[in-house]
Amino acid sequence: MIQWNTPQPPTAPFIASIFNYYLSDNLEGYAEYDEKTLALVKTIPGYLGYESMKHEGRGTFISYWKDMDSVSEWASHPVHIEAKKRGAQWYKYYHSMIAEVGRFQFSKMRVEG
């Protein structure tokens, strides 16, 4: 489920930054940096939200952005740069992609009981 930064989801178009990874066995400092970057990213203008999935060391983290300028601002932030440097320790494998979301359809979940 997407954790939007505002009560209402944005309207397309917007940007999705997709990070797929497989964790290494050396996760020293990983949890702390994960919390630190997630708190910090929410302060970057143009940040819209995120969703994250993890299973048995594999994961996907997708962050959503208003535009490429916002993505670039986050990419050049010193804390994010440091996290990228530490990535060689934390990940066996990773790749990232930037995509423009041209269409977004939102539906609220219904819980039946």
- Strands across the sheet with 58-65, in order? 3-4, 47-55, 58-65, 14-23, 91-101
Domains and CATH numbers, the chain: 3-101 (3.30.70.100)
- Flag whether pLDDT at 94 surpasses 80: yes
Q: Encode pLDDT of 25-77 as tens digits.
A: 999 999 999 999 999 999 999 999 999 999 998 999 999 999 999 999 999 99
Is the model's pTM score more than 0.85? yes
Q: How many CB atoms lie within 10 A of CB 96?
A: 12
The angle at the Cα of 108, spanning 106 to 48, to the nearest 5 degrees, equals 50
